[in-house]
Amino acid sequence: MSVSEEITLNVETLCNELNKHNYSYYVLDNPSIPDAEYDRLLLSLKKLETEYPSLITPESPTQRVGGEPLAGFTQVSHELPMLSLDNAFNEEDMIDFNRRVADRLKLADKDGEYENVEYACEPKLDGIAVSLLYEDGILIRGATRGDGQTGENITENVRTINSIPLKLLGNDFPKRLEVRGEIYMPKSAFDALNTEAERLGNKPFVNPRNAAAGSLRQLDPKITASRNLEMCCYSVGIVEGGALANTHETSLRKLNGWGLRINAEMQVVKGIPGCMKYYNFMADKRNTLPYEIDGIVFKVNDLDRQVRLGFVSKAPRWAIAHKFPAQEELTKVLDVDFQVGRTGAVTPVARLAPVFVGGVTVSNATLHNMDEIKRLGVMIGDAVIIRRAGDVIPQIVKVIEEKRTGDVKSILIPSHCPVCDSEVLQVEGEAVARCSGGLFCGAQRKEAIKHFASRKAMDIDGLGDKLVEALVDSGDVETVAGLFTLTKDQVSGLERMADKSAENLLRSLENAKETTLARFVYSLGIREVGETTARTLANAFGSLANIKMASVESLLEVPDIGPIMANHIVSFFEQSHNNEIIDQLIEAGVHWPDVEIDKKSQALQGKTFVITGTLSDMTREEAKEQLLALGAKVSGSVSKKTHCVIAGEAAGSKLKKAEDLGIKVMNEKGFITFISSFAL
């Protein structure tokens, strides 16, 4: 299936957003969005990756759990990964989960009826997942989950928590035992902490989860000791030199007997009716509990069945977390601000009269885009119903029009970026408005530099994402042009950058100054302009000056450039900020030869080729370069629009599809002869 640049960009954008939120949530303990919004983004990414599996990368948030550990603590590698849980949001999701369990365990009879699976039910505490390692009954290490593979060593801090035994009771415990659970802050401790913070003039914590995370990651254990944290165990990891039991419930009871706290609300039920009865019971009881919960965790109780069910890449197949539903309150829209994201998306944010909903005070809510504002019919001054969907995200779900007064104001998207004052553009048919100052805008700075330095753009070896982050955060680089004014002292002064590394980077920057017009145009990050389009522009116009002066009409004459892309190109070069940075790059020594516009560079325009199999006299990338130089388009999949397939050794499904569709096929020898015919 062909993957368009738009779909690829959507996946990249979702990955970037989710990775940013993972970092804020798991590493900085400073959530940038509520959980429900994160779930929505992750679900969107999963759907795209399911439909287009070629876009799945090892870096995708769907392929891993959480974020990276903080550098302030030593790292701990988990011998068994600490995985997260899949979520259910309604009874239908629970029924689907039970069906998957029963199908894998082959529990359905000939009439399709399922045996009632036994589930252990526990409240889902809103805290921090941790691992405790005991050897010969002695606590030797405490660690956070981190990214599931590597966490932070917090041993000295967990030793201060009274509910964590430093030595296990009894003598029948395994020689080596890893206990996993949740460290949390009780509501009473949270209230006392914030009361004291307000008395001292400090900023209060947002919720108990953030308070627990901040307390647990204090470098001074005395501070942790003063915060009255608790721990509740919910599972085990490593068990060596001994055994627990054959069910989840009895295993936890054993932990309890050895001095470890388990949740007193735990129950064992049968089937989904039992799960839903427990879920509804705890939902009613939720506000009376001495701690915050955001749902219920259901686990197959039989441990042998857990082993048979196994895991997917990020979660066990034998457990699921059923989130509690949204909670709603009435409040008022005081104003609307516009925030600029890393891709230039301009997002409206409603400022609300503070309201306590879902356990926290909410004072703002995202409105997503102007289409959402139109759908809701919301205006500044309106009374609205605010909901924390999935128990976390603040959302405006309804306008109470009967409460509307005469002093309401319409919400208008700004004509210029609130960060850099570049023009804000909204292409017809797109919901998202974007800042056009891609090279200049501070909100887009890091992403613009990362793209500029990437392999298919300026190919600056050694300038990875983390180094870009460090250079921007230090203030040493504000735009892509600033890369070429870096000094050895600036670079070597950064964390983990020695003199040799600094010298290598400066050498790479010097080498990158010599490039091609196509690479340079691609490096600018013009919206919708990918590698192939950049080459097409270079071949069609020959020079940067000609591209900058091109009108929408002249751009539309170029193959594969439509109205939306043409408008993006014209708008980019109309921004004085972008042109100033291009001039700075040229002044810094970035240069390229103009492209001679001749019939050769247009010889294969409008024709699409596919390369498959292994070539012996050249690489597939080299073959692609030769086709692109002649104006051809090179696709990764075969369709009716394909002009020709170049088939090397061991060509597979693409060759078969070409033959089925009656598409012309060339072997490598025929391709070399074909390409040679265009030589001058």
Active-site positions? Answer: 124
- Residue 650's SS3 state is coil
- C-alpha separations of 248 from 104, 302, 318, 373, 400 in Å: 19, 6, 11, 48, 48
| Edge-to-edge strand list for the sheet holding 128-135 | 138-144, 128-135, 176-184, 230-240
User: CA-to-CA distance for 564 and 428, rounded, in angstroms?
Assistant: 8
Question: What own/partner pairs with CB < 8 Å and gap ≥ 24 does 139-144 have?
Answer: 139/164, 139/165, 139/166, 139/167, 141/76, 143/76, 143/78, 144/69, 144/216, 144/217
Q: Residue 386 corresponds to which tokens in the numbers above?
A: 């605010």
CA gap 234, 256 in Å, rounded: 11
Distance CA 67, CA 636 (A): 32
Which is nearest to 212 in space by CA: 247, 240, 176, 187? Answer: 187
Q: In the chain, how long is the greatest CA-to-CA distance? A: 87
Evaluate whether 362 touches 206 at the Cβ level (below 8 Å).
Answer: no
Question: CA-CA distance, 571 to 427, in Å (whole number)?
Answer: 11
How open is the CA angle 288-291-296, to the nearest 5 degrees? Answer: 85
Say how far apart CA 468 and CA 494 lie, in whole Å: 11
